[in-house]
Amino acid sequence: MNIFDSVILGIIEGFTEFLPISSTGHLIVASSFLGIDQNSVTKAYEVIIQFAAILAVVFNYKDKFSIKKIDLWSKVFVAFLPIGAVGFVFSHQIKELFSIQIVATMFIVGGIVFLLTEKFFIPRESSFVDDVEKVSMKQAVAIGIAQVFALIPGTSRAGSTIIGALFVGLDRKTSAEFSFLLAFPVMSAVSAYDLLKHYNEFSDANLMVLLVGFVVAFVVAYISIKLFLAFLQRFTFVAFGVYRILFGVVLLLLN
């Protein structure tokens, strides 16, 4: 992996991590296109750019990372538990699910779900939760259960949590914000596990490549979060649904 590869993958990670379009699927396709081997050094690089994306959430929501927000974080933690438990118990089975066909199929399925959700998503604004701190514990549990579907490759963690949040009464913007905050414990746990598993590989990695990837992923993720929220102030998730379907179809054709 060289500096150019690092920049490209950093941009893709930063742009797709918090959008409902599966960052993992895009990184796999981009790595294949660039001819990057999926080895231990590459895995170390992925840990670094994921950590950069986590920091982007922290910097975007500095006011939420406070002891005064313990009630909010207790709900985020409860929402994290389902995917944490299922992912830990069935980690080997989940790895066996991976294939380009499954990734592509779940892109398409997720896209259809978004389109159906928007078609039958009646905007009764007065009844929606419009503040992430007003999410109830019951809603947090439901969102956490929905997030479990993200363990299927190509589903998208952001996509499954946003859909779950919409169905339990959060508006689009608040659904996205809760998904961002929920990414913190999920991605922290995954990154910590991967770091422990692959820490030896960091000695073999090009530090400049890692640094460039980190900076690029952080900056792009930080900006993408803000742009995504601005987008949701004016538009729906239809565009993401259409994109997912088209991307999935292209993946199947290329495969």
**Structure token digits, residue 77:** 């933690």
Per the CB < 8 A criterion, the answer to whether 57 and 184 are in contact is yes
Q: How far apart are CA 89 and CA 108, in angstroms?
A: 27
pLDDT for position 203: 62
Q: How far apart are the first and last CA of the chain?
A: 24
Q: pLDDT tens for the chain, 255 residues: list them.
A: 889 999 999 999 999 999 999 888 888 888 888 888 766 667 778 888 989 999 999 999 999 999 999 999 999 999 999 999 998 888 888 878 788 888 899 999 999 999 999 888 765 555 688 899 999 999 999 999 999 999 998 899 999 999 999 999 999 999 999 999 999 999 888 888 777 776 676 666 678 888 999 999 999 999 999 999 999 989 999 999 999 999 999 989 987
Residue 98 φ/ψ region, left for φ over 0, alpha for ψ in the -120 to 50 degree band, beta for the rest: beta
pLDDT for position 202: 63
Beta bridge partners of 236: none
Residue 22 φ/ψ region, left for φ over 0, alpha for ψ in the -120 to 50 degree band, beta for the rest: left
Q: Shortest CA distance to 150 belongs to which of 113, 122, 194, 193?
A: 113
Range of the domain at 196: 3-254
Q: How far apart are CA 54 and CA 3, in angstroms?
A: 22
The domain tally of the chain equals: 1
Q: How far apart are CA 13 and CA 224, in angstroms?
A: 10
